């Protein structure tokens, strides 16, 4: 452990946070493992070279023994409150890495037909088709991809998209982005017709989370103030993580204080100010590996958030870089990431 905590972990008052705006099964398993291995290399998941004092924090998760067995048709109510009948999950269009990684953990990576161009998960990168979706491109390209099911991951962003799929005769569901990460895993399993597999997956993740909580409680790091930042948040911009974000739930599960939640931010938000970040006095900075690569290293982070370097975390070089699957999106790897984070924090003194 190269970083050392040399200042007290004080909790600043909320008022000081001046953020702005307030084949056979064996063949399928082998195929999934080959896809994941190839994509992991492309995603740069080897330990990155980091500045002095920074740490790469990563846990290990293994879901190879879990394989969902969809029972279709199934009628579900999605995160938008819409009742949808799902009859075919052979060609799934996923809206993000969280959905892709959950399908991978459920043994259905080979059912992913299309994923976003900016995917970083092994499952998303290995998808046969990739698409760009934003306000400029619209949904026409998605509708032309001949998918059998669309799964969105944000009710505000994908609610209308899902309805357009349904109007065109293709089943579409959206996960409620404001529910807990474990409930998101349950939702995806329910949507593909195997709720029981979802419960099995949740039990494995919850076991890791409980172990992480125990480590955190023993380390007496409850007063730790943590800020998660990203290069690819709202609109693909520099953002601070608030409610509904996997990393935020990880932080709070361990009993630490999330700077973004304390400010009332939702999702990855641009509603922050440099003055507010300075006043928040975070003790630890968290970012995903893809964010570090997007910024091009340390200088890019400080350029994106100029006052962050002047906070206790910046001055003491307390920056943790984590795999995207364990911080950035709603992945079953969240539990393994929580354990790794708790162990790393426990070594700070």
Q: Where are the domains of the chain?
A: 14-22+49-59+214-346, 74-193
Q: Which CATH superfamily is domain 14-22+49-59+214-346 in?
A: Nitrogenase molybdenum iron protein domain (3.40.50.1980)
| Contact yes or no for 178/156 (Cβ under 8 A) | no
**CA dihedral for 273, 274, 278, 282, sign (positive or negative):** positive
Q: What is the pLDDT of residues 10-61, one digit of tens each?
A: 333 333 333 333 333 333 333 333 433 333 333 344 578 999 999 999 999 8
Rounded CA gap, 293 and 278, in Å?
A: 24
> Which strand (E) or helix (H) includes residue 49?
none
pTM exceeds 0.85: no
Rounded CA gap, 52 and 305, in Å?
A: 19
CATH class of 74-193: alpha beta
Q: What is the pLDDT of residues 246-303, one digit of tens each?
A: 999 999 999 999 999 999 998 899 999 999 999 999 999 999 999 999 999 999 999 9
Coil/strand/helix, residue 3 = coil
């Amino acid at each position: 452990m190269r970083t050392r905590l040399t200042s007290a972990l004080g909790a600043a008052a909320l008022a000081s946070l001046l953020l702005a705006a307030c084949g056979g099964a064996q063949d399928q398993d082998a195929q999934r493992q080959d896809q994941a291995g190839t994509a992991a290399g492309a995603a740069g998941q080897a330990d990155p070279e980091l500045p002095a004092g920074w740490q790469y924090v990563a846990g290990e998760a293994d879901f190879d023994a879990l394989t969902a067995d969809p029972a279709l048709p199934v009628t579900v109510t999605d995160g938008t409150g819409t009742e949808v009948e799902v009859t075919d999950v052979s060609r799934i269009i996923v809206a993000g890495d969280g959905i892709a990684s959950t399908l991978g953990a459920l043994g259905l990576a080979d059912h992913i037909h299309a994923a976003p161009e900016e995917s970083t998960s092994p499952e998303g990168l290995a998808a046969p088709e990739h698409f760009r979706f934003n306000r400029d491109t619209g949904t026409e390209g998605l509708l032309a991809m001949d998918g059998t099911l669309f799964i969105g991951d944000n009710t505000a962003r994908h609610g209308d998209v899902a309805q357009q799929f349904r109007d065109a005769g293709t089943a579409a569901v959206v996960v409620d982005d404001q529910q807990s990460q474990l409930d998101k895993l349950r939702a995806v399993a329910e949507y593909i017709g195997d709720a029981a597999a979802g419960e099995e997956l949740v039990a494995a993740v919850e076991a890791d989370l409980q172990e992480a909580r125990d480590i955190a409680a023993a380390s007496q790091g409850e007063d730790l103030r943590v800020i998660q930042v990203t290069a690819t948040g709202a609109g693909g911009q520099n953002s601070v993580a608030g409610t509904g974000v996997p990393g935020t739930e990880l932080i709070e599960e361990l009993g630490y204080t999330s700077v973004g939640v304390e400010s009332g931010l939702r999702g990855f938000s641009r509603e922050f100010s440099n003055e507010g970040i300075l006043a928040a006095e975070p003790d630890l900075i968290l970012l995903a590996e893809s964010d570090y690569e997007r910024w091009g290293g340390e200088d890019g982070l400080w350029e994106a958030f100029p006052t962050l370097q002047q906070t206790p975390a910046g001055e003491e070089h307390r920056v943790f870089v984590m795999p995207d699957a364990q911080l950035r999106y709603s992945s079953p790897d969240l539990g393994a990431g929580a354990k790794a984070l708790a162990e790393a924090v426990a070594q700070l003194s």
